[in-house]
Amino acid sequence: MGRSPCCDKNGLKKGPWTPEEDMKLTQYIQMHGPGNWRTLPKNAGLERCGKSCRLRWTNYLRPDIKRGRFSFEEEETIIQLHSVLGNKWSAIAARLPGRTDNEIKNYWNTHIRKRLLRMGIDPVTHAPRLDLLDLSSLLSSPQLNLSSLLRLQTLVNPDALRLAMNLLSSQNDQNQLFNFDQLQSQQAPVIQPNHFDNTINQQIPSNDLTTSSFSNQSQSLQGNMGHFPVGSSNSCDQIFQDNLKSYITTSDQSLPSTDIPSFCYEMKSDSLSDNSSFDQSLNYSSSSTNTNFSFDSVLSTPLSSPPPLNSVSGLINVSTEDERDSFCSNLLRFEIPGGLDFADFI
DNA sequence: AAACAGTGCAACCGCTCTGAC
DNA sequence: TGTCAGAGCGGTTGCACTGTT
């Protein structure tokens, strides 16, 4: 049973393709069409593995491939899609006509990823890298108290918070010791039904309701909130979903800058793979209002140090609206299409 | 001008999934 | 039903090119 081996790798050529090989492959596919990669090399007179032929064709020789530099709109789209899809290069490429997954992957790794890192943004989670923040400045804040620490616990890497609390306890004049684990147990019932109602009842300009901030925050939290007690009960899940729908569909309401929707914690990029409604929703238009964002403008800010704590939009007390908009919010902002059904992602 | 470091990208590797046998 | 090749995918490598010292 089964099939004979695809190809005998011994003796097959590897490495860069010559123009002659490209011509042979192109001419053969133009005559016979792509497919049946197993027999193609032999029929086309190529001493290559079928897999190599397929890669050469799909990544380089295909006539519909767009060569050259990525446009700003393409770059922006890649970042936005990556914030939702992660390293699903093929899924990203499917939404960028003329671009291959390999090309996008290379462009991400060589350009975009480095830019995000220089900006202090984790290219994996699209979140500000809280691990780089200066904890000493946090600890010196007059606003720091047990309450704020409890709040922080839901937002930052637990290890980082543990370190902060250890430092704080060592600084405390009254020698008041904090027990992280104890705090964690006290903090367990974080998601409460009223939380959502209170959240939605607060007013924020409608243009703040963007999937960028949404997905950005959700992914950042996913990355940082490995210990967050989510999904502890079915009823909580149901409340989460109901309120998420309310949040999405209530166009003139959004979240206060200091109050991240807890339901974001449940958003998982894995569940955002190929999805018809999502495909339709991501018919991204470069003529949207989002084209104001510029990497250069962001990069013009000093890069020698991590972003200040108060510029971490939505995570920790943000002092002004401008500060909130200045850093993260613009980075990945794009409008929520009307037909976007986030319930499918949950 | 040479040596070195950094960058960009084509191509390969290895894995998983799917469907034919 | 199990095996295997085909196809697809993400990660990695190798090399040519460019910039810097």
Instruction: Provide, in whole angstroms, the distance separating residue A60's CA from nucleotide B10's C1'.
Output: 9
Q: Which range has the top average pLDDT, A36-45, A218-227, A336-345?
A: A36-45
Instruction: Report chain B positions within 7 A of protein CB atoms.
Output: 7-14, 19-21
pLDDT tens-digit profile of A146-199? 444 444 443 444 444 444 444 444 434 333 333 333 333 333 333 333 333 333
Write the CB contacts of A302 (distance below 8 Å, at least 6 apart in sequence): none
Detail the protein residues whose CB sits closer than 7 A to any atom belonging to strand C: A 1-7, 35-38, 50-51, 54-55, 58, 87-91, 101-102, 105-106, 109
In the prediction, which pLDDT does A336 show? 35
Distance A261 CA to B12 C1' (A): 44
Chain C footprint bases within 7 A of protein beta carbons: 2-12
In chain A, which residues from 181 to 220 place their CB closer than 7 Å to nucleic acid strand B? none
- Which two tokens mark A230? 């989510």
Instruction: Rounding to the nearest 10 degrees, give the CA dihedral for residues A193, A196, A202, A203.
Output: -160
* % residues pLDDT > 90 (chain A): 0
pLDDT digits (tens, 9 = 90+) for A262-307: 333 333 333 333 333 333 333 333 333 333 333 333 333 333 333 3
Is the pLDDT confidence value at A120 over 70?
A: yes
Q: Is the model's pLDDT at A104 over the cut of 60?
A: yes
pLDDT at A185: 36
Rounded Cα distance between A307 and A102, Å, is: 32
Task: Say how far A144 CA is from C7 C1', in Å.
Answer: 56
Q: Nearest to residue A130, comparing CAs of A215, A260, A299, A138?
A: A138
C-beta within 7 A of nucleic chain B, residues 15-34 of A = 15-17
Q: How confident is the model at residue A52 (pLDDT cuts 50, 70, 90)?
A: confident
Q: Which residues, other chains included, contact A128 with Cβ-Cβ below 8 Å and sequence gap of 6+?
A: A120, A121, A122, A220, A306, A307, A311, A312, A315, A327, A328
Q: Which nucleotide is nearest to A40 (CA to C1')?
A: C6
Q: Is the pLDDT of residue A127 over 60?
A: yes
Q: Is the CB of A54 under 7 A from strand B?
A: no
> What pLDDT shows up at residue A129?
64
Q: What is the DSSP letter of A193?
A: H
Residue A242 C-alpha from the chain's centroid? 24
| Confidence (pLDDT) at A132 | 53
Q: What percent of chain A has pLDDT over 70?
A: 34
